């Protein structure tokens, strides 16, 4: 049993130092289980849920800043690149994820506050006497920007503060670790991905290297001007899985000033040959990282509500962070200041540093690069419009970019809006 005085000391620390969790997948559960219908009483976030996240347990866990993941799935590998070439619904779906996070925070505004900066996150938590959990967002994969850096910028304006460069699929920016698992070549960051990292740095979007391949990690760490995050990854040396971070990369993260947010997914932290994982396995991952690169680069990225039904034994849901902190404290005999770094100070520092890099780059122009594989297509009648200046249109367009637009007529049952017609009533 952990010494009771450390639990007491945790209670003191957490008054001024929030527990920060950098990855929680609750929004996707609201999508598939509720189709985003949270107005009705069937879903009560302030009462106990049987999943891994609710307000009662977030409070018990001392959480003061939560990054909710606005993840969307991707089509099959065969369809993926075709999808990048033509418009698809991924941006709509991601916007719905962003929207549900904001609506959830609005509905429970007595307990949560949407924040857009590191200072605001900490200030709100402390000034509310720990009553308000600060909430912000990450997007889990650049497939969700549909190849466009304009979308990256607009996600930032909506409050998204990190984007993972890949999910479990390559995209026009970078190679994913799943490609390595499949035995294929690790091409790392593409040239377009390079431009993308530049744009992240310029606007203050944090670069998240969870899910990416080893070479992508190394390529990014060589060029980024801001600290990186691994929003939910653990240590490869402890559990050799490509989702985890190898020691050579950990050493680069130390130089870079970034942070590894330890992932609780049992498969990524269990001992070789074991069927499940425990809280002690998680502690071992943390201790390994701390021993190798010190206390400035370790944080928490649980993956709750995105990890399958059960978390590691002893680390089942969002109420269990205090137990993890106390276990780490017991095992390392660290100073209170170091424990505070792990709880949340490191992540807040990295966020703040990314903001400062953006501030220093504020005179740079937006990156206008576009993906070389992009198919630009326009209706042929657009060529009747005047050119901006002589040669403007012909210098960027080729004949195969134009198509004959069909005229669509409404089907018989699609009539004009009529508020009196059944189906049009306001709910
Ligand atoms: Zn993930």
Closest CA to 322 of 303, 344, 351, 290: 344
Going by C-alpha positions, the residue among 34, 53, 51, 52 that lies closest to residue 43 is: 34
From residue 111, how far is each of 43, 128, 129, 137, 289 by CA, in Å?
16, 10, 11, 17, 33
4-360 belongs to CATH 3.20.20.140: yes
Residue 427: is its pLDDT beyond 60? no
Q: What pLDDT, in 10s, does the model give residues 136-184? A: 999 999 999 999 999 999 999 999 999 999 999 999 999 999 999 999 9
Instruction: State the number of CA atoms in the 13 A half-sphere of 125 facing the CB.
Output: 25
- Give residue 369 CA to ligand 1 midpoint distance, Å: 27
Catalytic (active-site) positions: 23, 25, 140, 167, 211, 232, 303
Res. 13: pLDDT tops 70: yes
CA 222 – CA 217 distance, rounded (Å): 9
The model's confidence at residue 375, banded by pLDDT at 50, 70 and 90, is confident
**Per-residue confidence band for 418, with pLDDT thresholds at 50, 70 and 90:** low
Distance (Å) from CA 167 to ligand 1 centroid:
7
Give the Å distance between the CA of 166 and the centre of ligand 1. 9
What mean pLDDT do residues 280-297 have?
Answer: 98
Range with the poorest average pLDDT among 51-65, 108-122, 194-208, 396-410:
396-410
Is residue 260 within 8 Å of residue 298, measured between CB atoms?
A: yes
Q: What percent of the chain has pLDDT over 90?
A: 83
Mean pLDDT confidence for 248-256: 98
Does residue 329 contact residue 281 with C-beta atoms inside 8 Å?
no
Q: Which of 321, 292, 375, 258 is nearest to 13 (CA)?
A: 321
CA dist 335 and 4 (Å) reads 17
- Domain residue extents for the chain: 4-360
Question: What does the alpha-carbon distance between residue 225 and residue 47 come to, in Å, rounded to a whole number?
Answer: 43
Q: What is the pLDDT of residue 80?
A: 73
CA–centroid distance, residue 303 to ligand 1 (Å): 7
């Amino acid at each position: 049993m952990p010494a009771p005085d450390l639990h007491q000391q945790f209670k003191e620390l957490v008054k001024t130092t929030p527990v920060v969790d950098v990855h929680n997948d609750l929004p996707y559960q609201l999508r598939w289980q509720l189709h985003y219908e949270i107005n009705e009483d069937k879903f009560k976030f302030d009462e106990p849920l049987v999943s891994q996240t609710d307000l009662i347990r977030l409070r018990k866990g001392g959480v003061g800043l939560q990054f909710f993941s606005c993840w969307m799935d991707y089509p099959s590998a065969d369809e993926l690149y075709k999808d990048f070439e033509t418009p698809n619904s991924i941006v709509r779906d991601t916007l719905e994820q962003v929207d549900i996070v904001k609506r959830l925070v609005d509905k429970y505004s007595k307990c949560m506050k949407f924040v857009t900066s590191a200072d605001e996150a900490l200030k709100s938590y402390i000034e509310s006497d720990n009553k308000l959990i600060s909430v912000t967002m990450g997007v889990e994969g650049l497939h969700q920007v549909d190849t466009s850096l304009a979308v990256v910028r607009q996600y930032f304006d909506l409050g998204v503060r990190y984007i993972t460069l890949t999910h479990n699929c390559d995209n026009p920016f970078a190679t994913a670790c799943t490609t390595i698992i499949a035995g294929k070549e690790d091409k790392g960051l593409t040239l377009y991905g390079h431009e993308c990292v530049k744009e992240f740095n310029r606007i203050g979007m944090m670069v998240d290297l969870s899910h990416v391949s080893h070479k992508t990690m190394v390529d990014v760490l060589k060029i980024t001007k801001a600290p990186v995050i691994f929003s939910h990854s653990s240590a490869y040396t402890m559990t050799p899985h490509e989702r985890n971070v190898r020691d050579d990369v950990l050493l680069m993260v130390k130089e870079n000033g970034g942070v590894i947010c330890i992932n609780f997914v049992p498969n990524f932290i269990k001992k070789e040959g074991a069927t499940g994982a425990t809280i002690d396995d998680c502690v071992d991952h943390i201790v390994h990282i701390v021993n190798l690169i010190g206390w400035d680069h370790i944080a928490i990225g649980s993956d709750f509500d995105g990890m399958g039904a059960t978390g590691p034994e002893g680390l089942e849901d969002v109420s269990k962070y205090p137990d993890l902190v106390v276990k780490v404290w017991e095992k390392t005999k660290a100073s209170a200041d170091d424990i505070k770094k792990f709880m949340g100070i490191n992540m807040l520092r990295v966020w703040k540093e990314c903001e400062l890099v953006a501030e220093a780059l504020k005179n740079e122009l937006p990156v206008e690069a576009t993906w070389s594989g992009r198919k630009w297509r326009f209706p042929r009648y657009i060529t009747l419009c005047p050119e901006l200046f002589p040669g403007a249109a012909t210098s960027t367009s080729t004949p195969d970019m134009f198509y004959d637009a069909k005229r669509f007529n409404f089907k018989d049952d699609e009539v004009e809006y009529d508020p009196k017609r059944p189906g049009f009533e306001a709910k």
